[in-house]
Structure 1
Amino acid sequence: MKRIKMRTSAFAAVAILATSALAGCGADAAGGDGDTGGAADAKVAFLMPDLASTRYEQQDKPLFEAKMKELCPGCSVIYQNADSDAAKQQQQASSALAQGVKAIVIDPVDSTAAATIVRDAQSQGVPIIAYDRPIPATPADYYISFDNEKIGSMIGQSLVDHLKAEKAEGGILQVNGSPTDAAAGLIKQGIHSAVDDSGFKLLAEYDTPDWSPEKAQTWVSGQITQFGDDIVGVVAANDGTASGTIAAFKAAGKDVPPVTGNDAEIAAAQRIIKGDQYNTISKPIKIVAEAAAEVAYQFMQGEKPEGKDTLYDTPSELFVPTVVTKENIKEVLFDSGIMTAGEVCTGDYAEGCAELGIQ
């Protein structure tokens, strides 16, 4: 892995990007040197990887589209979701190129296979912005994400600290993300950096195909049969695999040990409030979705934005996330406006919300 030059302020970087985008608008209006056929009515592709994570349909897509509309009212977004099928994503990218897009923002299903998409696009002069997941084999034109290795280390360390405070004795399971996702590999590295020397034995780990909650549940069920009450915690790489993990313990009639997550999905917030999930990661999708739109718009005007970081020889923006537990969920997710009580505190979760002062 290439050395990462870490950024200092996520929000400052977004502000810089926004300023650059506005400057680009001025240059375009004044007849800048970008030969894009006019960004005012250009097309941009936004290609997401799967439906297993609800965030893509519920957050990434509408937030990206809204920011693009703000930056360029006449531009159009071609949105596609590959539903965990790398070949399908290749077809979607080819279709977008055939429709004359001026930029492609892609969260790859398979980080290795996506190198073909990068080469195809760049051969036609179309810039590729890797989104959330990097494309290591062939450098994209830009990469925008939260720091995935940091995410892994943060959720892992949060769990280890909690288990030590509770004086737990036993071992940990590690439920990683998809083996074809380079971002999952970075999260996995981060988890190991927190867990390996923690004093808690790593009982077993699993790379979850397609980030599938069902496959995570099946694997964890087998580990419960093997290790039983020796399992005192589970580091799950995202909220989907966390949901599968929690379901496995409940199906086995076992108390659910502390389980980590990542993505701050609404269902995860509900599980934390209820006490089923220990933590998640808040990485406000608004930050990365809007930054991706701003960078895409700059490329569409013929500009070449510079990254504040470098990963896999790609100019990058790597934003810093926040660990969320029951102790700070009100402040991080609700007081900030990321979520509302109306969408989270329903049914069985109303009582837990009231206890935490979420209203």
Structure 2
Amino acid sequence: MKKWLILIYTTLLLTACLPREEAAVEKPLPEPPPVKSAEEIKIGFSMDTLKEERWTKDLELFKEAAEQHGAEVVLEIADGDDVKQVWQTEKMISEGIDVLVVVPHNAESMAAIVERAHDAGIKVLSYDRLVRNAEVDLYVSYDNEQVGILQAQAMTKLVPKGKYVYLGGAETDYNAHLIKQGVFSVLKPYIESGEITVVFNQWTKDWLPQYAKENMEAALQANNDDIDAVIAGNDATAGGAIDALQANGLAGKIPVAGQDADLLGVRRIVEGTQTVTMYKSIDDLSQKAVELAIKLAIGEEIQEDLKINNGKINVPSVLLSPVLVDESTIRETVIADGFHLEKEVYAP
């Protein structure tokens, strides 16, 4: 009996000494970083250019809106250079911005930057121009297709039959494609019926007036100056077209549509050389963009029902509505909003 007891005791002792697997212990999840307030947010703002008047207004109003919220704006201007814009945004990401707002020069080339920002945990808002083929978090702009619709409706009301020239914006800018889409959706039935013929249809490199002027000169030469209406991608390209018309003694005789409500464009409407422009309140646009950029930065959920496909995903979008401006509505639109001063518009 003693032997059995010794054997049992020894077995228990040996068993107790054997290594045992420890029970799996769940490690607590790391605590999420503290949510920042608007006052701690750094907004990286990557702009294509400041060569056009409207973009200087965008910058000024964007910075003012950010200051109202207490956020800091880290600014880079690419001067129409794709490589430079990619390098600048890489730099902002590496230096620790909280959200990236992009006005792309080239809608396609910025796709890699969106991915790079996401790898760094930074969300991306596409401002006014949509970045293509990328998982952009949010797009804030005006309804650019509606811009083209309003332009074409104004022109067809004045010139329901005749020869049209279309001078689009930069082919690299997706907005230019949307505007053109809107224009031709209105022109299509007129073209199909033979009432309207588009005798010249060309993009304008980098939206620059000198290229628009060259295109308009080519259109006039090819048609022996027999043109009935011009639709231009924006007021800068409209100005280039009007310079060419002026040189041929046709300024003010052929209706011209533009967009952006640039001061020079509005002045040309007063003078009678440009017919209409499209007013897009940059104040409204910049305020909305800053407000939503801060929400993205602090991780607040944004519910937007409108989605626009950018070639890769349906991007949650906020689109504001443009307003047509002609000679009769200048005071109640751009002047009433303080976009331009009356003394500037009607300067002698």
Q: TM-score, normalised by structure 1?
A: 0.82
CA distance in structure 2 between the partners assigned to 1:67 and 1:110 by the alignment: 26
Equivalent AA in structure 2 for residue 127 of structure 1: K
SS of the aligned residue for 1:346 comes to coil
Query: Given the alignment of the two structures, is residue 89 of structure 1 paired with residue 81 of structure 2, yes or no?
Result: no
Which residue of 1 is the match for residue 188 of structure 2?
A: 196
SS of the aligned residue for 2:228 comes to strand
Structure 2: tracts of 5 or more residues without a match: 1-31
SS of the aligned residue for 1:336 comes to coil
CA distance in structure 1 between the partners assigned to 2:339 and 2:250 by the alignment: 33
Which residue of 2 is the match for residue 343 of structure 1?
A: 344
Which residue of 1 is the match for residue 292 of structure 2?
A: 295
Which residue of 2 is the match for residue 179 of structure 1?
A: 171
CA distance in structure 2 between the partners assigned to 1:193 and 1:318 by the alignment: 19
Deviation at 1:244, TM superposition (A): 0.5
Which residue of 2 is the match for residue 286 of structure 1?
A: 283
SS of the aligned residue for 1:243 comes to helix
Query: Given the alignment of the two structures, is residue 277 of structure 1 paired with residue 274 of structure 2, yes or no?
Result: yes
Which residue of 1 is the match for residue 39 of structure 2?
A: 40
Deviation at 1:34, TM superposition (A): 6.7
Which residue of 2 is the match for residue 355 of structure 1?
A: none
CA distance in structure 1 between the partners assigned to 2:204 and 2:189 by the alignment: 23
Write out aligned runs for 1:148-167 (5 A): 148-164=144-160
CA distance in structure 2 between the partners assigned to 1:117 and 1:69 by the alignment: 26
Which residue of 1 is the match for residue 243 of structure 2?
A: 247
Structure 1: tracts of 5 or more residues without a match: 1-32, 348-359
Could you tell me which of 223, 226, 242 is aligned with 1:227?
223
CA distance in structure 2 between the partners assigned to 1:289 and 1:243 by the alignment: 25
CA distance in structure 2 between the partners assigned to 1:228 and 1:109 by the alignment: 35
Which deviations, in whole Å up to 9, do the C-alpha atoms of 1:8-30 show, x marking residues without a partner? xxxxxxxxxxxxxxxxxxxxxxx
Assess if the C-alpha contact under 8 Å between 1:36 and 1:102 holds in 2.
Answer: no
CA distance in structure 1 between the partners assigned to 2:229 and 2:37 by the alignment: 54
Deviation at 1:222, TM superposition (A): 1.1
Change (3 A) 1:308 1:34: farther
CA distance in structure 2 between the partners assigned to 1:109 and 1:36 by the alignment: 32
Change (3 A) 1:228 1:329: farther
SS of the aligned residue for 1:241 comes to helix
Deviation at 1:320, TM superposition (A): 1.0
Deviation at 1:36, TM superposition (A): 4.9
Query: Cα RMSD over matched residues?
Result: 1.6
Which deviations, in whole Å up to 9, do the C-alpha atoms of 1:259-307 show, x marking residues without a partner? 1111111111101111111110011001110101001111221223222
Assess if the C-alpha contact under 8 Å between 2:41 and 2:294 holds in 1.
Answer: no
Identity, % of aligned pairs?
Answer: 30
CA distance in structure 1 between the partners assigned to 2:323 and 2:37 by the alignment: 39
Which residue of 1 is the match for residue 75 of structure 2?
A: 79
Aligned pair count?
Answer: 308
Query: Given the alignment of the two structures, is residue 131 of structure 1 paired with residue 127 of structure 2, yes or no?
Result: yes
Assess if the C-alpha contact under 8 Å between 2:204 and 2:211 holds in 1.
Answer: yes
Change (3 A) 1:90 1:105: same
Q: TM-score, normalised by structure 2?
A: 0.85
Deviation at 1:38, TM superposition (A): 5.0
Query: Given the alignment of the two structures, is residue 325 of structure 1 paired with residue 322 of structure 2, yes or no?
Result: no
Structure 1 moving runs of 4+ over 4 Å: 36-39
Assess if the C-alpha contact under 8 Å between 2:126 and 2:138 holds in 1.
Answer: yes
SS of the aligned residue for 1:230 comes to coil
Which deviations, in whole Å up to 9, do the C-alpha atoms of 1:118-177 show, x marking residues without a partner? 11111111110001111231131000000111111111111111113xxxx530000001
Which residue of 2 is the match for residue 62 of structure 1?
A: 60
